[in-house]
Amino acid sequence: MSKTEIQAVLSGLNLHPSRRLGQNFLCDGNLLRAIVRDAAPAPGESILEIGAGTGVLTAGLLAAGCQVTAVEIDHRLHEHLGIRFGDSPRLRLVRADACRLDYDELMGSAPYRCVANLPYSVSTVVLTRLCEAANPPTALLILLQREMAERLTARPSSKAYGGLTVQTSLLYEAHLLRRVPPEVFLPPPAVESALLRLTRRSDAAPAAERRLAGDVARLAFGQRRKRLGRTLASRYGAERVGAALQRLGLDPNVRPEELAPERFIELARLL
Ligand code: SAM
């Protein structure tokens, strides 16, 4: 859909894009085709799309023959999607808040991937929930704020490295595929975006351990300037933390950003 066509849909719905809902609609056919090409969806494959909006990406995924579960919170867009794709047996439309969904209940136990132009305001929460699912997506191809993509691909000891980096890296390998300028969206967001691929690791730790490691990382990065030993002691007690750090051969003065993601798993196991 061109910019004019999307504008016409929005005014037909009397919808003024909401910043709170991250309503920046994709209006660049070339980028859209590139996303579908990068996703390389296989006929019959199960795909989760979060924030389907006017359905531009949904249409590309359906055309590739996928089974699409499309989540949208806005009732006007949900209704529009129902009318636009009403006769498609391969589309399951879900009107829900992606931050509150139980993804195991929604997607079941079969493998699926997530392809989405994520609402930026909720991308951290949604990613955390997906990572914590018992059956997380096997891979994700997502458009998000460039700054967020940089956090997800950050290396230890860099400024962008943080709790979210740790949590996602324990499950996925992240690759930034392309930077995306604001002009491809209607309305253009204030910041640059990026297309990111996350591919599930074959050696990922079990979900319960990753969840614990995520908790430890969040606590640690809540005070990223402080020494790790001190921050963790506030919850786990100085003695236990001291013993765990010693066992791992870690200096109690180490800062959280110096620890690779796997070390948080080791720490969480001991704590
Ligand atoms: N996929 C469409 C596209 O590429 O043009 C729309 C993407 S737009 C960046 C994000 C969409 O997510 C909007 O349609 C917005 O209404 C929806 N959205 C925002 N917050 C949501 C939430 N918590 N749960 C589900 N959908 C949400």
Q: How confident is the model at residue 157 (pLDDT cuts 50, 70, 90)?
A: very high
Judge whether residue 111 has pLDDT over 90. yes
Mutational pocket test of ligand 1: of 2, 5, 9, 25, the residue with most ligand atoms within 8 Å of the beta carbon: 25
For ligand 1, say whether the CB of 24 is within 6 Å of any of its atoms: yes
Mutational pocket test of ligand 1: of 73, 76, 106, the residue with most ligand atoms within 8 Å of the beta carbon: 73
Judge whether residue 149 has pLDDT over 90. yes
pLDDT at residue number 252: 83
Q: Which domains does the chain have, with CATH numbers?
A: 3-200 (3.40.50.150), 207-270 (1.10.8.100)
pLDDT at residue number 147: 95
Position in ligand 1 atom list of the atom nearest CA 119: 10
The rounded percent of the chain whose pLDDT value lies above 70 is 100
Judge whether residue 33 has pLDDT over 90. yes
Strand ranges across the sheet with 67-72? 91-95, 67-72, 46-50, 113-117, 139-145, 193-200, 172-180
For ligand 1, say whether the CB of 198 is within 6 Å of any of its atoms: no
68-108 pLDDT tens trace:
999 999 999 999 999 999 889 999 999 999 999 999 999 99
Task: List the residue whose alpha carbon is closest to atom 14 of ligand 1.
Answer: 53
